[in-house]
Structure 1
């Protein structure tokens, strides 16, 4: 009977720990954890590592919860066998009677506590969390490989929650900043747009190559101005042997006082994200990105303005 009681309390504690820490990891401020990792010891840095490798953490919590459920069920069966007749009906009745206790103290109460004080409780329990992470690492890696295989088959993975966690954290920071008066409504809307739109493929905002004026390298200024007027677009692409190598601005072409040299274009893949392409345009000082497939076929052309406008207008109404 004492063995059954010890196993039951152990299983209940494990269930409470893994259920609560899972909720705490979703709720804790990533910024605060990162700052702790910069200024404190190995446990704080380990928690930052877990936040950045959410697949390992979720697999650890999954294994831990299953282990806790197994230990708790075994303890109930052993307790019933030691105190009662040990029949199948008695074991079933004992499990039913203990279910509310396990649910309240092993699931509901720890989730409630970690939900309202995630940083404090994770700070207390992070050495234990890191210990079980290392202990369950072989199984966690196996589950990670299984998840990757499922992603190749179905296109999804049961552990693909990192972006969801980051999105909730960002929304919480923006909401708190707005309530504190640090962020104006327009600033919060812009930040939300960056998060919503920046992860979309840049090709969604581009136009076909034929929509922009194109001239061959070496064509004179008048040919470039005429091409821009025909297409009604202020950017003229410069082509060398059927490959886009630069661009000209119509405003620069109107200035007859100086020579105009083509500006470089950014070569990107059609699968690249909106924000990634926009940052590359700013880094290179270019106005145009040419989006191609992996075989080099041009899928679309996107300008800096076409990437900026959705950030400034989406959700503004």
Structure 2
């Protein structure tokens, strides 16, 4: 070979190396963790700050890298064809095509992209300064190319300015679910993170204690009976009503009641329960759980009554109810055990109709919808489009529901069987 051929061969190798650099940089900069780069940038890492700036304008970044990559690949292929034609004649074109295809695929695409995926953050930090210069130099060309692309897309009725983007909440939720499926995040941690993300989407009506399960006492009861009922209840705060349960006139705190009994030296006849009750706090049922949590913290109260648009009491919500959406059920030594979920030997479950759908999804890792109904019974009625009778069965959401008991128009107990287990039993 003469000097010209050796120089051409060296140039081809150099161009393939540049292609290696461009391909690896593209993969690393697009796969690098934005969260990690943000943390490093906040700690004063200048290269991480540079990565953030580059990835914030992805069109310019990808355009410059692709432009550079295509230029060096085409130039390398042209030189290879020229060298091999000199050696093999016209057959050199075929040899050049085969050789450069293999070289580009292996050394300029698969190998650099694989290496970049193994260490995307570190790779991105290393190449960022060089890529920044390339993006700056190619900016006029990439801008013109992007403008031409936009014109072509508009001709087909596509507008790049209206590209859909996933919200930060959705991206974070998807990341958590993905790592849970990979086994890197345990179920409890995933549920807690999902609970935090759900606070803005939920309304207090989704987490409240419904009025049918709410303890409220008649304020006109004899003092000894009223005090006994309050102290016997498992709750710290108890609503008082007059004439009808919707007419809540006060909330009694057990600690305030005990102080009053102590001052009366144990003589409950001297205790005026209504006098120590504090004014009830009413909140609309459409209030977001996040807003209600902030209100609890601001007013330093842990208890509120939930009303609908007509002012009718629908239930109550406490700070504990909201916290349970994040950490799961909270039980203490005074909580009563509610028999609402029992697993059977055949894999089915006996459930109370009043069980909240969100609690079931959390406990059993199901995905039942809770947009139209908040309880299991409500979901069955919504899906069936009727109030079923005991013995009726329905299948939806990969579960079979059989109504076991009904009181008036309320479904009180159901048997729920996952269809997969039912099929396996056959």
- How does the TM-score come out when normalised to structure 2? 0.41
Q: What's the offset of the Cα at 1:49?
A: 1.5
Partner of 2:309: 250
Task: Give the greater-gyration-radius structure (CA).
Answer: 2
Structure of higher RCO (CA pairs closer than 8 Å, 6+ residues apart):
1
Task: Give, in angstroms, the shift of residue 112 of structure 1.
Answer: 0.8
Task: Specify the alignment match of 1:26 in structure 2.
Answer: 30
Q: Which of 100, 105, 113 is residue 102 of structure 2 equivalent to? A: 100
- Structure-2 residue corresponding to 1:210: none
- Structure 2 vs 1, CA of residues 122 and 94 (structure 1 numbering), >3 Å: closer, same or farther? same
Q: TM-score, with normalisation over the residues of structure 1?
A: 0.54
Alpha-carbon shift at residue 144 of structure 1 (Å)? 2.2
Structure 1 segments unaligned to the other structure (5+ residues): 196-233, 236-248, 256-309
User: What are the equivalent positions in structure 2 for 1:174-253 lying under 5 Å apart?
Assistant: 174-176=177-179, 179-181=184-186, 183-185=189-191, 187-188=193-194, 250-252=309-311
State the Cα distance separating 1:21 from its structure 2 match: 1.9
Is contact 1:80-1:90 (8 Å) kept? yes
Larger proportion of strand: 2
Q: Distance in 2 between matches of 1:159 and 1:67?
A: 28
- Contact 1:55–1:159, Cα closer than 8 Å, also in 2: no
Q: Flag the 1:162–1:51 CA change in 2: closer, same or farther, 3 A.
A: farther
Q: Which residue of 1 aligns with 2:50?
A: 46
> How far did 1:137 drift?
0.9
Q: SS in structure 1 opposite 2:158?
A: coil
State the distance in 2 between where 1:73 and 1:100 align: 11
| Counterpart residue number, 2:146 | 144
Q: CA deviation at 1:161?
A: 8.1
Partner SS for 1:67: helix
**Structure with the bigger percentage of helix:** 1
Change (3 A) 1:127 1:172: same
Q: Which stretch of structure 1 is more off in the superposition, 95-104 or 160-169?
A: 160-169
Measure how far apart 1:175 and its partner are: 2.6
Structure 1 range deviating more: 111-120 or 158-167: 158-167
Deviates more, 1:171-180 or 1:91-100: 171-180
Shift of 1:138: 0.9
Quick check: 1:36–1:44 contact (8 Å CA) kept in 2?
A: yes
Task: For 2:167 and 2:118, locate their aligned partners in 1 and report how far apart those are by CA, in whole Å.
Answer: 17
> Residues 132-177 of structure 1: CA distance to partner in whole angstroms, max 9, x if unpaired?
1112111111122223323432243789989479877873455336
1:128 to 130, 137, 143: 130
Kindly report the root-mean-square deviation, in angstroms, between the aligned alpha carbons of the 2 structures: 4.1
Structure 2 residues without counterparts, runs of 5 or longer: 202-284, 287-307, 314-367, 375-396, 398-426
